[in-house]
Amino acid sequence: MTTPLLSVDGLSKEFPVAGDNWLAPKQTLRAVQSVSFELGSRQTLGLVGESGCGKSTTGRLILQLIEPTAGTVRFNGRDLATMPKEELRQLRSSMQIIFQDPQASLNPRHRVEELILEPLYAQGEKPSAKLTNYAGELLDKVGLSRRHLTRFPHEFSGGQRQRIGIARAIASKPQLIVCDEAVSALDVSVQAQVINLLQDLQDQLGLSYLFIGHDLAVVRHIADTMAIMYLGRIVEMAPKREFYARPMHPYSQALLGSVPVSHPSKRHTRKRLEGEIPSPLNPPTGCHFHPRCRFARDVCKQQVPELRSITPTRQAACHFAEEIAAGEGQRAPHSP
């Protein structure tokens, strides 16, 4: 059996939060709760959910930028938490990240050449003519020119800055790249260009992506597998085609229903999401989604549904996933 490139098991992260005043007790924010998944070589996992659900925290936990409260992250079968610091530092060249805001993630005082080669300098490389030529080759790969090496980030558009961020991410020849909302800050036309670029680089360099986003219409074009996240938990996982054809979790259905459609005749079939996102400091009992769920019943308020296999290729964290997927689920008369 082939070892997956990335294996995440029971990953959790809690943050202590101080009260409004010094007399108030501290609270615990459970940002990520028992997240588990695998990612194979040359594959893309789309991690999708509303803002604040824990997607970006999950990406940072995987890269060991944040220390997890519980759970394990294995890269090529090796547990990153037990790895000696020097080995982990060397391994970081195999795991990179593309941030959401290229203007904030690129040092405005550094020229493009320094920005792109920064991961190599962190690994002990020294400036040289060979590295300068390599930086130029990377700019060619991402659709920019070698003449841009001496410029500063403020001289570029948002899409061009993100291409520089991508060039920096691939400079150390990684196997895994976490794309943290990598296109959400860009115009729609530029988003398509960057997605196409990421796909081309994946084919050329054999990359694997954890693609974090909130727009299902965008993630659809790049992901092989979908993972839907709500209040720190993964509530559904499925191959892309099966997910978009028939989502099995009510939250997934609502997310798909929020995707804009062009034809007016199809708009009345959209399943609107009701209510507000609960606070992660005080999440609902049982299934976190039950206050907003059209199918919620008493058991949903009392028992936390585990992420379980519904079919050999699909998982869902819903007590009634089979009924809902088959179209037999009925809106509960007492649901909100």
Residue 136 pLDDT level (bands cut at 50, 70, 90): very high
Q: Is residue 293 part of a domain?
A: yes
124 lies in a domain?
no
Cβ atoms 198, 179 nearer than 8 A: yes
- Domain contains 86: no
**pLDDT, tens digit, for every residue of 265-315?**
555 455 667 777 888 888 999 999 999 998 899 999 999 999 999 999 999
Where is average pLDDT lowest: 35-39, 297-301, 330-334? 330-334
pLDDT, tens only, 161-218: 999 999 999 999 999 999 999 998 888 889 999 999 999 999 999 999 999 999 898 9
Question: Could you tell me if residue 313 is inside a domain?
Answer: yes
pLDDT score of 334: 37
Q: What is the mean pLDDT of residues 72-93?
A: 93
Q: Residue 328 pLDDT more than 80? A: no
Q: Is residue 278 part of a domain?
A: yes
Kindly state the percentage of the chain with pLDDT values over 70: 93
Is the pLDDT reported for residue 333 higher than 60?
no
* Number of domains the chain is built from: 1
Per-residue pLDDT reduced to its tens digit, 216-259? 989 999 999 999 999 999 999 999 999 999 999 999 998 888 77
pLDDT at 329 over 80: no
Residues spanned by the domain of 294 = 247-336
pTM over 0.75: yes
96 pLDDT above the threshold of 50: yes
Residue 314 lies in a domain: yes
**Residue 230 domain-assigned (yes or no):** no
Percentage of the chain with pLDDT > 90? 73
Q: Is residue 210 part of a domain?
A: no
Radius of gyration of the chain (CA): 21
Whether residue 336 is predicted with pLDDT greater than 50 in this model: the reply is no
Where does the pLDDT of residue 335 fall: very low under 50, low under 70, confident under 90, or very high at 90 and above?
very low
What pLDDT, on the 0 to 100 scale, is given for residue 273? 73
Mean pLDDT across the stretch 147-151?
96
